[in-house]
Amino acid sequence: MLVGIIYSTEKKVIGKLADALKRGLEEQGHQVKVFSDNTESFTGLAACKTLVVGSYVTGGFKPKTPPRLRDVLSKLSIISGKRSIAFVARGGIGERKALVKLMNDMEKQGCYMVDQQSFASEDDAYRFGKSVALKT
């Protein structure tokens, strides 16, 4: 299955988590296309059956999806109806709220949420990618 990963570039750890997730998914036999939030072209994303979006915790009491990532999601009409997974880097106050905010922003664009995760390390992301069951 073709899986697309979009991640926020404002924190390097999110890119590392996306790469680890990609490795795990590829070991399951999936093809994975990775896009950062500063990518010019999202060619190939429309063909992806599942979408994974990664962010970080922006603030403790009133976390938000990072502006650049939120802007990218709002411009991608091709993500509507895709089975989707949201993830954030674990740590800090507001982790759960940040994850909920990301999921809400994704749902506004028509994503069908099937899972959400917070990863403490690259190993966590890799193990999740290696074990997650994605429906076609």
DSSP notation for 56-93: ----SSS----HHHHHHHHH-GGGTT-EEEEEEE--ST
- Cβ proximity of 55 and 65 under 8 Å: yes
Residue position matching structure tokens 């009409």 = 77
**Is the confidence at residue 136, as pLDDT, over 70?**
no
* Confidence at residue 86, expressed as pLDDT on a 0 to 100 scale: 97
Q: Which amino acid is at 86?
A: A
Interval 36-48 mean pLDDT: 93
Q: What is the CATH number of domain 2-130?
A: 3.40.50.360
Q: Please state, in angstroms and rounded to a whole number, the distance separating the CA atoms of residues 57 and 43.
A: 28
pLDDT tens digits for range 52-85: 999 988 876 788 889 999 999 999 999 999 999 9
**Is the confidence at residue 94, as pLDDT, over 90?**
no
The model's pTM is 0.94
- How does the average pLDDT of the chain come out, rounded? 92
**Is the confidence at residue 91, as pLDDT, over 90?**
no
Q: Which amino acid is at 56?
A: Y
- Cβ proximity of 87 and 17 under 8 Å: yes
- Cβ proximity of 108 and 102 under 8 Å: no
Report percent pLDDT > 90 for the chain.
Answer: 81
Structure tokens given for 128: 């999740």
Interval 33-43 mean pLDDT: 93
Q: Please state, in angstroms and rounded to a whole number, the distance separating the CA atoms of residues 48 and 46.
A: 6
